[in-house]
Amino acid sequence: MDLHSAVKGRVLLPGDAGFEEAAGPWAVGVRQPVAAVVEAEDDADVAALVRYAHGSGLTISAQPSGHGASGDVEGVILLRTGRLGHVEVDPVKRVARVGAGARWGRVLAETGEHGLTGLAGSSPAVSVAGFVLGGGVSWFGRRYGWAADSVRAFEVVDAGGDRARVTAESDSELFWALRGGGGDFALVTAVELELYPVPFLYGGRIVWPGERAGEVFEAFREVTADAPRELSVWVNRMQPPPPAPPIVTVDVTFLGEEDEARELLAPFEKIGGPLSDTRKIMDIADLGGIAAEPVDPSPALSRVELLTGLDDAAVEILASEPAAPLVNVQLRHLGGALAEAGSAGGAGGALTEPYMLYLLGLRLPHLTEAVQVKQAQLVHKLAAHVSGRKPYTFLAPGENAGQALPAETLARLREIKKSRDPQHVFRANFPVRD
């Protein structure tokens, strides 16, 4: 049996019309030298593909939206699950059943109709399944923890091609591994998520000219020093395409009413000369618009580091160090429930660092080297505060799972991999292999 006859969905091989586009990840410029691309029709088609790969000694790498690609996929079958895009919301039980191809924008649109939310991140284009498999740093993580910890069940296909529903009660080891340990252990076809009530959601972006960066970072440090868990604040130094001047922005969400939010954000109100301010009571469906990230494939070249603190020296570097050729130097406030996740949760464990630094440039031939050099320079200058750990969903090409997971966690995940997938039928974007 060949691959075309093994599955119902579309199969593309090198040389076929549309193959290069189908094999491309979201981050334009990351090469994916896969042997084939399969667009599964449904859950049964996924199981058929796994059985074919298992019997043929082949490996599958699933990429619902193409985010988080490492390029480490030479010779594998790339599985696209976009047609598994169903979303079913039970507002009484506060649960959503989400197919592996569903993206956060659609999920929030449907949960928001009931005043409920899932633990989404900054982009509406990211798949829910990929997000939770890597842990998931959400806008609401300070209040509720990792997005992965809101998962109540996974629907999976195991390495032998059998389908199963995995919960903490039915298979505690696999359930733990899938919540933050990546997709190396089973192929997820759907996720059941706990949803959270949102009577009020206040959020938006304030924009100032770039020369106000020092004041903005000082206010950011003041606000985040004792912020309640319902408040999330991110600051960005952004360089729009020339000849536009640099800007500095603050992105905010608050799970509460406007008056309380404005009181908590008072240090920002004292900074004069804002160019715009979009903050308001907002619909949950509009959450993905706050950061205004591109939803179409982009030549993004990012580096993420976790910071252990924010002293005067760090603020000076972040606010004053020239950012070019980067397009964004972002600092996110973490902490809260993220810092308290324990072994009873998922494989992500506790994220104890209070800040996350996100350095973004463009992966273009004339810029790539300069962007990487600038990223390295900034990280070196902040070395006293860089922990060395990275959230799994923010790993970049050339990095590995060992940089996201503690040694004891990685060892446990490797044992699960050996027992559940000894033939390496599955390969995550960042495998847990030795």
Domain ranges of the chain: 3-80, 87-197+403-420
Please list the residues that pair with 276 across neighbouring strands. Answer: 207
Please give the structure tokens belonging to residue 285: 């469906």
What is the reported pLDDT for 345? 80
CATH number for the domain whose boundaries are 3-80 = 3.30.43.10
pLDDT means over runs of 10, the chain (434 residues)? 92 96 95 97 98 97 93 96 97 98 98 98 97 97 96 98 98 97 97 97 98 98 98 96 93 98 97 96 97 94 98 97 96 96 78 97 96 98 97 96 95 98 97 86
Peptide bond into 325 cis (omega under 30): yes
Topology of the domain comprising 87-197+403-420: 3.30.465
What is the reported pLDDT for 434? 66
What is the reported pLDDT for 344? 55
Measured CA to CA, the distance from residue 226 to residue 164 in angstroms comes to: 44
Q: Are 320 and 368 in contact (CB under 8 A)?
A: no
Measured CA to CA, the distance from residue 319 to residue 384 in angstroms comes to: 17
Question: pTM for the full model?
Answer: 0.96
What is the reported pLDDT for 242? 84
Peptide bond into 243 cis (omega under 30): yes
What is the reported pLDDT for 342? 62
Half-sphere exposure of 399 (CA within 13 A, CB side): 21
Tell the burial category of 44 from Cβ atoms under 10 Å away from its Cβ (0-12, 13-18, 19+).
middle
Tell the burial category of 339 from Cβ atoms under 10 Å away from its Cβ (0-12, 13-18, 19+).
middle
The DSSP line for 159-186 is: TTS-EEEE-TTT-HHHHHHHTTS-SSSS
Phi, psi of 110 (to 5 degrees): -80, -40
What is the reported pLDDT for 1? 67
Measured CA to CA, the distance from residue 391 to residue 133 in angstroms comes to: 12
The DSSP line for 404-422 is: TS-HHHHHHHHHHHHHH-T
E strand or H helix at 260: helix 258-264
Contacts of 214 (CB under 8 A, 6+ apart): 315, 319, 320
The DSSP line for 195-257 is: -EE-S--EEEEEEEEGGGHHHHHHHHHHHHHS--TTEEEEEEEE-PSTTSPPEEEEEEEESS-
Q: Residue 179: which of 169, 170, 166, 189 has the closest Cα?
A: 166
Please give the structure tokens belonging to residue 225: 């020093």
Measured CA to CA, the distance from residue 169 to residue 152 in angstroms comes to: 10
Q: Residue 331: which of 239, 249, 234 has the closest Cα?
A: 234
